[in-house]
Amino acid sequence: MHPHTHALISLCATAVALTLAGCGTSDPPGQDTDGAPTSSTGETTDGPTTDNVTEASGSCGDGVLDAGEECDDGADNGADRPCTPKCTKVACGDGYQGPGEGCDDGNTEDGDDCTSACQAPGCGDGVVSVGEECDDMNTDNSDGCLNSCQLASCGDGHVYVGTEPCDDGDGDNTDDCLDTCELARCGDGFVQDGVEACDDGDGDNSNECLTNCKPARCGDGFVQDGVEACDDGNEINNDSCKNDCSAPASCIDGVQNGGESDIDCGGLHCFGCLDTKVCDDNFDCKSGYCHEGQCVTPRHCRDIRDLGLESEDGIYSIDPDGQDGPLDALQVFCEMTFNGGGWQAVFNMMDKPIGEAAAQAMLDAITVNAPADVVLPDSNSPAILTEGLVLADFTEAVFGWAPTSGSDVARYGRLELAEGLAGVCYLDGYCGAGVDVGEFDIVPTGNTRLLRTGDGDDFPHVGLGFDEQIMLWGYDRQSSIFSNWANWNDQNMCCKAGNIEAIEVPGWRYTIYVR
């Protein structure tokens, strides 16, 4: 109340006895119209009759700011005014809904119908009120609290960043987002429309739906249980599985399949093919040799050379009478680097000491034939190993000497017969002492001589010699200015062994090759 108003009231009270008209017609303070005394507080027994009810204690509501009052607007005090009926300034939590307040429930607690800021609770005010699960004061639906003040959850239609890959809120598992808020993928057990043909989610490729979410079919590379007998994943009918997946390939089905190089032969699983059958490599052939796409069987080392099958010295397989003949295939040592190659070793003898025993050992070996076998350069053959060879197919023979076991023949006599070597003495059986063997071209002297077997009775020779006295390959039991072993020196004088000083170097060897 304004101070001037307070003074005017006091003046009227003083002059009340002089004139009633100057102060109005209302009863003086402390009296009602019946002259009965009223409460000194100015309150009525029924309380305020207008919106501006004054609930004064003492002088509250008289418009005068007395001690203990925060305010006193007189008739303007009220529950909805800046000054309450208790002459206190309106404040949130005082129970009066004053200016600027949306509500006031007399407390400053949140969670009820009126917030501690005296506003009606609402989503987005930062206060979790009744009916709200959260309130983060933002409108971001990608965090843990939606702008509806509900906690984010799978199926709410909003993607919770960092927690959900997707959330379409539709509960449909045939689109690109599952009802578990995971992106649809092959193998999740749900068929995605327009993307997958099937999806059984079991990781099994032996049933009707593959792990790539495509229906099983013949040619997919997986055998479908109860439906297919095989499935190699291609459309080739001559491999390990027929095109209709009805049966796996076999080596007896009369069809080129299963990796076979020819019908029911070759490849990894079938027997090797016979000669003239189709082959991809040596492994496809029974003989072990594939030449220009066909299996071949070499009959001797010369075939191996002529067909270009091998070029290094070594042990190789031959079949002397071919695959159709009665003779078995065998292994022999082929000299592929000596004098054009293609030579088969049939005899070898390492260096021997001088003496009757050594001479007898050589005679015992070269006068006996035995089955063809591997003859290595550092071996001692028990016999000439020609049995089982078709000697008619061989046209050349070399009786040679080499300075060491690891070197090629350096000095030799070469016999060549166009009609073949069948019946040649030593090679095809021993023909006796002093019997002609044939015309030999001698290397390195260049001579050609008719050589015969040694004669132990008339002249004590073992091997090959001429003029009844000169031994060129073998042993001379008579004395020699060098030794009793010969190495194709056919220029010596009479009665001496045909040798040179090199025969005394340890490691030399005698050998016989045929080609």
418-443 confidence digits (pLDDT tens): 999 999 999 999 999 999 999 999 99
Give the separation between CA 399 and CA 35, rounded to whole angstroms: 172
Residue 479, pLDDT score:
57
For the chain, percent of residues with pLDDT exceeding 70: 84
Q: What is the pLDDT of residues 482-500, one digit of tens each?
A: 568 888 988 755 555 666 6
The pLDDT assigned to 469 comes to 66
Lowest mean pLDDT among 60-69, 152-161, 292-301: 60-69
DSSP annotation string for 486-498: EES-TTSPTTS-S
Tell me: pLDDT of 38 over 80: no
Higher pLDDT, 460 or 233: 233
Residue with tokens 């119908």: 113
Per-residue exposure over 341-370, b if at least 16 CB sit within 10 Å of its own CB, e if not: bbbbbbbbbebbeeeeebbebbbebbbebb
Whole-angstrom distance, CA of residue 498 vs CA of residue 168: 107
**pLDDT tens per residue across span 98-132:** 898 889 889 988 878 888 888 888 898 888 888 89
Predicted confidence (pLDDT) at residue 27 exceeds the cutoff of 70: no
User: Which pTM was predicted?
Assistant: 0.55
Q: Kindly provide the b/e burial profile for residues 154-178, where b requires at least 16 CB atoms within 10 angstroms of the residue's own CB.
A: bebebbbeeebeebbeeeeeeeebb
Q: Report how far residue 280's alpha carbon sits from residue 267's, in angstroms, rounded to the nearest whole number.
A: 8
What does the pLDDT read at residue 497? 60
